[in-house]
């Protein structure tokens, strides 16, 4: 039996219309959800300790892979001009998160800066001293009365008193000269400075430029091996954004582990984002960083951990060598709470 005035096609029309309407609703919901997801992103300015280099590859890799965005973090990089500058910016809240030398962070805390380290990058000091052998310098002690050149905001200046005293010389016995990072070799050759400081990954540059005339000592071999660079967070920002910092640290920790396992994609991500960099050079830089990341705590407890005993020793070293305007509980200067203890250093 068929109702008068209707056909099979007429009966199908309402169903087709409903189906089309359902599709439109689904697409609209998808668009709204995508917009909501985009709106949920929190912009985070991340100040580096210097210009982008191999040791920054994991951050760029994680950003390229969308790991930060997936956690609601729109990460923006700001090239730095030394650890001291990065410490100042994060301490002042001008940048919420950054990378800086841990010794300088402790000194800044001792001056009232409210900073918290949340992820250790370098379990060993990355600092080195360079000079020309023909200058007659053979050790840190020979730098007394000499000129040391490096960038004005370099973290080595903050740490120098500790190195000087551990080698039996007066920290004030040297003269500091402002030299841009890219001009250090030329300044040595021109004898406008007698020595310079540089991080671990500059070593091949000095070797190529100075050859057999290169004098060098790593700070860790000169009696000073505190923690090197760490990721630091402004304490007020941390208090207001604890879940966000937790997600940031876990993504960063995973990225560093991934780059140790397979560095080439990480370095490629860095180079793609910074066109002036060369893949082979930055890959060498990254592999040098791996040796600084490696210690028994990063291997046995968690990648990125600050060991309590080492931090206590670093605090005492800086208190004795540099001094703090305001002594503080060193455990307030770092936290391991955001680390995944299942992610460890594996080489």
Instruction: Kindly report the CATH number assigned to the domain that includes residue 145.
Output: 3.40.190.10
Q: Shortest CA distance to 45 belongs to which of 97, 113, 83, 90?
A: 97
In a domain, 3, yes or no: no
Task: Look at residue 36 and tell me whether its pLDDT is greater than 90.
Answer: no
Select from 158, 187, 221 the last residue of a domain. 221
Q: Per-residue pLDDT averaged across 187-201, rounded?
A: 93
Same domain, 166 and 181: yes
Answer yes or no: are the C-beta atoms of 49 and 98 closer than 8 Å: yes
Task: Look at residue 337 and tell me whether its pLDDT is greater than 60.
Answer: yes
Same domain, 105 and 145: no
In a domain, 140, yes or no: yes
Same domain, 230 and 243: yes
Helices 279-293 and 263-273: angle between axes, nearest 10 degrees: 130
The percentage of the chain sitting over the pLDDT mark of 70, rounded to a whole number, equals 89
In a domain, 205, yes or no: yes
pLDDT of residue 30: 44
Structure tokens at 231: 């990721």
In a domain, 187, yes or no: yes
pLDDT of residue 244: 98
In a domain, 20, yes or no: no
CA distance 171 to 164: 5
Select from 196, 221, 246 the last residue of a domain. 221
CB contact set of 53 (below 8 Å; sequence gap of 6+): 201, 277, 282, 285
Same domain, 203 and 291: no
In a domain, 236, yes or no: yes
Q: What's the domain count of the chain? A: 2
Same domain, 66 and 211: no
pLDDT of residue 155: 78
In angstroms, the Cα distances linking 209 to 10, 281, 326 are 86, 15, 43
For residue 76, give the 3-state DSSP assignment: strand
pLDDT of residue 322: 82
Neighbours of 51 (CB within 10 A): 14
Q: Shortest CA distance to 233 belongs to which of 337, 124, 93?
A: 93
β-bridge pairing 147-150 and 175-178: parallel
Domain that holds residue 150: 127-221
> How far does Cα 286 stand from its chain's mean position?
12
Q: ∠ CA(286), CA(75), CA(344), 5° rounding? A: 45
Same domain, 149 and 189: yes
The percentage of the chain sitting over the pLDDT mark of 90, rounded to a whole number, equals 75
Answer yes or no: are the C-beta atoms of 283 and 61 closer than 8 Å: no
pLDDT of residue 39: 53
Neighbours of 131 (CB within 10 A): 25
Query: What does the pLDDT look like over 111-143, one tens digit per residue?
Result: 999 999 999 999 999 899 999 999 999 999 999
């Amino acid at each position: 039996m068929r109702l008068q005035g209707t056909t099979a096609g007429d009966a199908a029309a309402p169903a087709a219309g409903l189906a089309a309407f359902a599709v439109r609703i689904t697409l609209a919901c998808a668009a709204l959800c995508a917009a909501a997801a985009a709106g949920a992103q929190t912009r985070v300015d991340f100040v580096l300790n210097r210009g982008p280099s191999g040791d920054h590859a994991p951050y760029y890799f994680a950003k390229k892979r969308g790991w930060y965005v997936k956690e609601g973090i729109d990460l923006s990089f700001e090239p730095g001009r030394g650890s001291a500058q990065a410490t100042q910016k994060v301490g002042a809240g001008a940048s919420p998160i950054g990378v800086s030398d841990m010794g300088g962070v402790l000194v800044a805390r001792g001056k009232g800066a409210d900073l918290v380290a949340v992820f250790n990058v370098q379990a060993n000091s990355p600092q080195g001293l360079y000079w020309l052998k023909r200058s007659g310098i053979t050790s840190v002690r020979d730098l007394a009365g000499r000129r040391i050149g490096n960038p004005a905001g370099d973290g080595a200046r903050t740490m120098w008193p500790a190195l000087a005293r551990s080698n039996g010389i007066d920290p004030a016995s040297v003269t500091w000269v402002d030299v841009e990072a890219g001009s250090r070799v030329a300044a040595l050759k021109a004898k406008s400075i007698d020595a310079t400081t540089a991080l671990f990954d500059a070593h091949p540059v000095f070797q190529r430029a100075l050859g057999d005339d290169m004098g060098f000592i790593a700070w860790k071999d000169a009696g000073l091996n505190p923690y090197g660079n760490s990721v630091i967070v402004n304490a007020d920002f941390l208090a207001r954004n604890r879940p966000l910092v937790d997600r940031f640290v876990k993504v960063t920790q995973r990225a560093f582990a991934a780059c140790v396992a397979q560095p080439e994609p990480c370095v490629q991500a860095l180079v793609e984002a910074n066109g002036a960099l060369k893949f082979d050079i930055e890959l060498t830089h990254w592999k040098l960083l791996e040796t600084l990341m490696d210690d028994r705590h990063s291997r046995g407890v968690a990648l990125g951990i600050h060991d309590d005993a080492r931090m206590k020793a670093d605090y005492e070293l800086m208190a004795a060598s540099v001094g703090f305007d305001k002594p503080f509980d060193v455990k307030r200067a770092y936290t391991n709470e955001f680390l995944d203890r299942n992610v460890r250093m594996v080489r």
